[in-house]
Amino acid sequence: MQIPRLHPDTIEEVKLRADIVDVVSEYVVLRKRGKDFVGLCPFHDEKSPSFTVSQTKQMYYCFGCQAGGNAIKFVMDLGKRSFAEVVLDLARRYQVPVQTLEPEQRQELQRQLSLREQLYEVLATSAQFYQHALRQSQGQKAIQYLQSNRKLQEETIQQFGLGYAPAGWETLSRYLVEDKHYPAQLVEKAGLIKPRKEGGGYYDVFRDRLMIPIRDVQGRVIAFGGRTLTDEQPKYLNSPETELFSKGKTLFALDRAKTGISQLDRAVVVEGYFDAIALHAAGINNAVASLGTALSLEQVRLVLRYTESKQLVLNFDADKAGTNAAERAIGEIAELAYKGEVQLKILNLPNGKDADEYLRERTPEDYAELLANAPLWLDWQIQQVLQNRDLKQATDFQQVTQQIVKLLKNIANSDTRNYYVSYCAEILSLGDTRLIPLRVENLLTQIAPPAPTYSKPVSARKAWGNEKLSPLPTSHSPLPSDRSLLEHAEALLLRIYLHCPEQRQAIIDELEERDLQFSLSHHRFLWRQILETTVEQVDLISTLQNRYLELSEDLGLISHLFHLNEKWKTEIIRIPQLVQAAIACMDLVMLEKRYRHFLELWQQTDPEAEPEKYQFYYQAFYTEKLKLQKIDRQRLFSITELL
């Protein structure tokens, strides 16, 4: 069902109650800087924070990628969700009564609103059921497995909410549906039961398994992982994809690890549930597990929100299966590693052990030392290339060189690439330092990209010399393109209008007097929204943002206008001059556009076949040129003011 249109009062109440620092802090580590908060932008990869959150203005803005908006926009962009969905979620979280513009749809809306809450409740109840079953006689083999095989203390078992799913086919189903009176369809949507193919009821998804709750970043149970206690396959069984759970967007134990990741400025990714649990039990509290899938960009970006230096260590087994798992887990993030946007390291533990096995024999300090010395991904990749190769054999030498060249070609940063060229040249020189320069030259020749070809830009001034009239003065620097000049001028005028209420009427008067329009479509659309909004309205920016979100319009091209960086905060004192400069430049660009239009029509007209039209176009472009000559002396001032 399509969500009905929300009442403006509901939207405003959500905006009032949903504090932006509170909302953003769930996803970004924020630090106080002056009266604002700063952190690493969740919308693009960066090494130093350029993402600013203003509690007084209830807005965020990134000076790196120009993402900006209010709390609603933040959640929309982060989760790729609609305006209404986000408002409804925030309304539920902050206990805002929901009103719609269609009263007859409210009952259905409330049902839809409550679905996710009901799923959270069913899953929480199920987690409690599994924990209780663990303490019963039927759960003794699960307890014994945890204590004897995994060496887990009672405190850890309780912290992670570990439990046991009884062996019966309908044990959980009967408990939830008959005892707790949850609708069977709801329990099915939670991924806990399945309908029998022949009809006649449901059966439990998890049976006779050790149960591991999977939680979201806020610590709510959203799914389960079940480990068999017999020879049943698969060994591990995860909940199916549901309204709450997407395996490719979830990391096990992130709710517990996010604080440790932020404090240590490093995230450790292991392969299995019990590896993560064992690390946390040993006091290494910055570890998460990948749920057995190749790491997706969503998972990587999720965990990197909590580390400023973007350090990510993959800890998989050192044997062949572990090596394959590491390469599989890298998945989509290889490109980020090549670009240097993530400091990716690979930790292979000795003797093919996983983290859980290693910590049963060694100390947490030993593991921490291995973590600190884990090689960067590129070093690890080079070692994989060299493994079981004899560089004294011509075939091996050639194959290794080709694979190394492949790796080096992908490195985007020139300094990093040059470092690895030298490093690989040393390896290929087999200890003979005299050969290093030759190997370096050979590698550089093979990885060097073809020289780019550039077409010489056509000067805008050439348009002025296509007819026999005297050229315009050229004493000043060449103009930027029409598009660039217009972008600066229109953006400046809109920014002043948004942030300086006392200038709004003057801007409207100037535009009407000169009969000027905003030419760029995104500026024209914004201006139309402005004119449809009451000028006296105090919260103009917030109102405009909400209107964009409701209309599903792209805020990206104009979001920077809603914010003032430090430069603009100082520039704003020169408002009258800036307004005049913007108006003059808009006027100038429009005149040039009309001049070129009429000049082109004149040049394309046959004077003998159409003498009247030929004379009309000549007079039109000549008139425009005279106007341009008259205001040309203002150009340098106007452009300097804008740029």
234 prior amide bond cis, ω within 30 = yes
Helix residue ranges per DSSP H, 94-197: 106-134, 140-144, 154-159, 171-174, 184-189
CATH T-level topology, domain 114-245: DNA primase DNAg catalytic core, N-terminal domain (3.90.980)
pLDDT on residue 491? 85
CA distance 446 to 402: 9
Determine whether domain 249-342+349-368 maps to CATH 3.40.1360.10: yes
With residue 278 as reference, give the H or E element that holds it: helix 273-281
What are the per-10-residue average pLDDT scores of the chain (643 residues)?
A: 68 82 85 85 84 85 87 86 84 79 61 76 96 95 95 96 95 94 94 88 95 92 95 92 90 92 90 94 94 78 81 79 68 78 88 88 93 91 92 93 92 85 93 88 77 34 33 34 68 85 83 78 83 64 78 72 70 70 78 78 83 80 75 48 46
CA distance 397 to 324: 23
> Would you call 326 helix, strand, or coil by DSSP?
helix
Q: State both tokens at 378.
A: 């590129």
556-583 as b/e: b if 16+ CB within 10 A = ebbbbbbbbeeeeeebeeeeeebbebbb
Gyration radius (Cα) of the chain, Å:
32
pLDDT on residue 390? 93
Residue with the two structure tokens 């020749």: 445
CA distances to 68, 424, 576 from 571, rounded to whole Å, are: 21, 51, 11
All structural domains of the chain with their residue ranges:
8-101, 114-245, 249-342+349-368, 384-447, 476-642
CATH T-level topology, domain 8-101: DNA Primase; Chain A (3.90.580)
- Is 303:312 a contact under the CB 8 Å cutoff? yes
Q: State both tokens at 203.
A: 């059966």
- 204 Cβ contact partners less than 8 Å away, ≥ 6 residues apart: 165, 168, 169, 170, 171, 172, 173, 192, 193
Backbone CA torsion sign across 536, 542, 548, 549: negative
With residue 483 as reference, give the H or E element that holds it: helix 482-499
CA distance 402 to 428: 12
pLDDT on residue 190? 96
CA distance 94 to 75: 14
CA distance 281 to 577: 64
Q: Are strands 59-62 and 51-54 parallel, antiparallel or unpaired?
A: antiparallel
Q: State both tokens at 547.
A: 């209107």
CA distance 496 to 482: 21
Residue with the two structure tokens 């990714």: 269
CA distance 119 to 9: 28
In three state form, how does the secondary structure of 403-467 look? Answer: HHHHHHHCCCCHHHHHHHHHHHHHHHCCCCHHHHHHHHHHHHHHHCCCCCCCCCCCCHHHHHHCC
Backbone CA torsion sign across 400, 401, 407, 408: positive
- Is 270:233 a contact under the CB 8 Å cutoff? no
**Full strand arrangement of the beta sheet holding 311-316:** 287-289, 267-270, 311-316, 343-348
Q: State both tokens at 497.
A: 């209008």
pTM over 0.85: no
pLDDT on residue 599? 81
pLDDT on residue 473? 32
Amino acid at 636: L
CA distances to 101, 391, 474 from 594, rounded to whole Å, are: 47, 70, 20
